[in-house]
Chain A
Amino acid sequence: MHSAYIDPILERYGHNPTKLMQILREMQEHFGYIHSDAIDHLVARLGILRTQVESVAGFYEFFYLHPPGRYRILFSDNITDRMLGNMDLLEQMCRQLWIEHGKVSEDGLVSVDTTSCTGMCDQGPALLVNGRTVTRLTMDRVEVICELVRNEIPLEQWPAEFFQVEENIRRKDVLLGSEFQPGAALRAAFALGPQALIDEVKTANLRGRGGAGFTTGLKWEGCRNAPGQAHYVVCNADEGEPGTFKDRVLLASYADRVFEGMTLCGYAIGAQLGMLYLRGEYRYLLEPLQAVLENRRRANLLGGNILGQAGFDFDIEIHLGAGAYICGEESALIESLEGKRGTPRNRPPFPVTHGYLNQPTVVNNVETFAAGTLIAERGGAWYAGLGTGKSAGTKLLSVSGDCTQPGIYEYPFGVTVAQVLEDCGAVNSQAVQVSGPSGVCVSAAEFERRIAFEDIPTAGAFMVFDHSRDMFEVARNFVQFFAHESCGFCTPCRVGTSLLRNLMDKLHNGHGSPYDFEEIKRLNVLLQSMSHCGLGHSACNPVLDTIAKFGPAYEKRLQHRDFTPAFDLDWALAPARRSTGRDDSAAHLHDEAIGEQP
């Protein structure tokens, strides 16, 4: 039964176990989930282990080993979605469909749950239904969706405007504003030669746009000089940092620039294969991107002897992720590309010498590759003249939250936070979370600070909070995010992020004491010093920042001055109340406000 749909998929992927994630995705798109008998078939045909399939499938949020419902609805749960009321919409949907949040309906029709930020913060609240993005949710839209689900209408027949994703480009500079003729950057690069191209990128002082800011030219040069059987180019489009969506726009409207940037890199380092790691949430971009690749192949911008350049063969594959923030970390991303769990590797060695299949690999952000085409076309010196001394060029910001004009803004590096706030129509702003939960929380007193590697480095997220927002709840949302996305490899992050989440919930529920506050601080120090990778190191940032800058938001929750028991008898009765459908005063042990279940 399963061989009928699996065999053609395996054929297409050459029975190659490193393509396991793509194989599983296509199997699931066909069957709805990964059936235990289907795993038997994979084991037999690919010569892999059952545990290999199960451990990979169990790691990624969008793979299911059990039926998740014929309609699998996941509400994006970034703080910006929450500010737009996603939780009320979710509850409304659950009520209308008569289901419990997180559970599959008895008839196997539908399940409703939350997922991490889906990258639609400028047009939220958003959800994914069977992997497809629905934006701009309202109560009316939720009602229509419930109706469509109840009548089992196929997604293809749902109103097209539900799936409409807007670009919302608000400010263009050299990258978004320049005309681009596909092939122009490649021709310029061929005139230079590989080493001179790298020298231009070094002269340009281009730094990685994923946030860490490593010098791109040095990375390319290091990779070019590293010995190996093959060299690889990887484009990190696993844009998982909550509040970031600029790569989505680049891939939707500037894909030629991105692919040409990857091809330039392939030329510079001597690679024949490039891979775009596209986050699972952007599944809807797969076919359009493949069409762009096909066009480029037809124009000889990909393939053999590109544009007549003898011996330069290069092609690009798209690898779709399946819901794991950690895969934005470059070594975890490479593990995932190899069809494994996305666990960050021990480093050194770094990908530049031991990356994909242990071969020299350049991993760069989408925006970095796109910027590379500008440098090839117009020269490194020109590019170095843009921005600030240590931050050459421009940066795309994904602006969302409390402002009238959310969307994409391209600025030369060095722009102040205040300038961005003015341009996006933010008033009465209390704080901006720059670069997402792992970034920096900037308070009003610091709005003259600059977006640049010298001051506030960023991967691009720019979430605005006005004075009506509770910064403790912002931090709590981010802590929940890290606990959900911890890969589980190392003890401090696996356990520490969950302990931190529980403590923040305890404060939220009004049971916090100064002791818990001290515990939070202590856990943060431990996470920072003991964790295996950046996720654990930065999981404490939102809390430490908000404690330092918005202390009163925490203090007002410390209602008890001394010790508070962790166990609340009345709260423990909640399941009994739920199962009996009671909520009258006699069903409670005392009159104290009932906290939310952690």
Chain B
Amino acid sequence: MSNTFTLDGKEIPFQDGQTVIQAALDAGVYIPHLCHHPDFPPHGSCKLCTVKINGRQTASCTMKAQAGMVVESNIDELNDERRALTQMLFVEGNHFCPSCEKSGNCQLQATAYQLHMLTPHFDHFYPNRPVDASHPDYLLDTNRCILCSLCVRASRDVDGKNVFALGGRGIKTHLLVNAKSHRLGDTDFSGEDKAANVCPVGVILKKRQGFAVPIGQRTFDIKPASEYVDSRMPTKEV
């Protein structure tokens, strides 16, 4: 029996050990995702990539592909729930797209468009979150953090610097910076780091770089998230 499963009726080949989303993205089929990144091992926290496998819902980024699986992804039931999750991420933080430098390059925004999200739907939490401008070259605006922990993983696993971690619990979970002052400027973080170039939203931003690419010509202005398939394209461009 060949190593394939079906995804919304399409035959998807996979290598042993691959997860459902890895195989799907390799085959050019988009499954909405935010905390998953092709360069990192499965994480499984945003739950946007949830699919139905043999009728049961599970995150496709942590589920290993198996021959003969019947996977449903692009169906109304799941897209409705993914839209609700995206709305949750919007109301949990403080996201003001029109004034955000990441607008047009932001995966959260692009995913929201992809899922036809027209309003935040839920009541906003309006949390009080800090902005850290202590680093000479980078700005840290945690108002936009969606707690995907990609910067945590990149700094730890690729850069070997461990600049970031998640602290707190529950709705008070937040990004931590590894310095007694908790300031990015007091760490060895640099623009060369993978962690500086992996944030899917507008938390980690390069200073003195605004509107280098005009609105309307940015990554997701040109084509929607589903046409990039995985998240390597937009993050390179930042």
Contacts and interface: CB of A to CB of B under 8 A. Distances in A.
B169 A59 contact: yes
Contacts, number: 112
Interface of A: 36, 39-40, 49-52, 54-55, 58-61, 324, 341, 346, 483-492, 494-499, 502, 522, 526, 529-532, 566
B168 interface: yes
B32 to A, nearest CB: 12
Nearest to A525: B81
Interface of B: 42, 44-48, 50, 57, 59, 62, 81, 84-85, 88-89, 91-92, 122-123, 125, 146-147, 162, 164-173, 176-180
Given A39-B180, A499-B123, 7 more contacts: A50-B180, A51-B177, A55-B166, A486-B171, A488-B169, A494-B92, A532-B45
Contacts of A490: 44-47
A496 B88 contact: yes
B79 to A, nearest CB: 13
A50 B179 contact: yes
A36 B180 contact: yes
B167 A498 contact: no
B178 A530 contact: no
A486 B167 contact: no
A498 B165 contact: no
Nearest to B171: A498
Contacts of B180: 36, 39-40, 50
Given A51-B165, A498-B171, A488 B147 contact: yes
Contacts of B91: 495, 499
A299 B119 CA distance: 68
Contacts of B176: 51, 54-55, 58
A99 to B, nearest CB: 22
A346 B42 contact: yes
B88 A495 contact: yes
Most chain B CB neighbours (cut-off 10 Å) among A54, A55, A486, A491: A491
Nearest to A60: B169
A532 B173 CA distance: 16
A266 B49 CA distance: 40
A60 B167 CA distance: 10
Contact of B46 (A60, A491, A522, A566): A491
Contacts of A36: 180
9 contacts: A54-B167, A55-B167, A346-B42, A346-B62, A483-B171, A489-B173, A494-B170, A498-B171, A531-B47
B131 to A, nearest CB: 19
B118 to A, nearest CB: 17
Contact of A491 (B85, B166, B177): B85
Given A55-B176, A491-B45, A495-B89, A530 B168 contact: no
B57 A566 contact: no
B44 A51 contact: no
Contacts of A483: 170-171
B19 to A, nearest CB: 10
A484 B177 CA distance: 24
Contacts of A346: 42, 44, 62
Contacts of A499: 88, 91, 122-123
Nearest to A342: B169
A492 B178 contact: no
A494 B173 contact: yes
Most chain B CB neighbours (cut-off 10 Å) among A341, A496, A499, A531: A499
B162 A488 contact: no
Contacts of A566: 123
Given A51-B162, A488-B147, A532-B47, A526 B84 contact: yes
B46 to A, nearest CB: 5
B201 to A, nearest CB: 13
Contacts of A522: 84
Contacts of A487: 169-170
A36 B173 CA distance: 20
B168 A488 contact: yes
A54 B46 CA distance: 23
A52 B167 CA distance: 9
Contact of A530 (B47, B169, B179): B47
Contacts of B162: 49, 51
B55 to A, nearest CB: 12
Nearest to B178: A51
Contacts of A60: 169
A55 B175 CA distance: 9
A472 B89 CA distance: 28
A522 B81 CA distance: 10
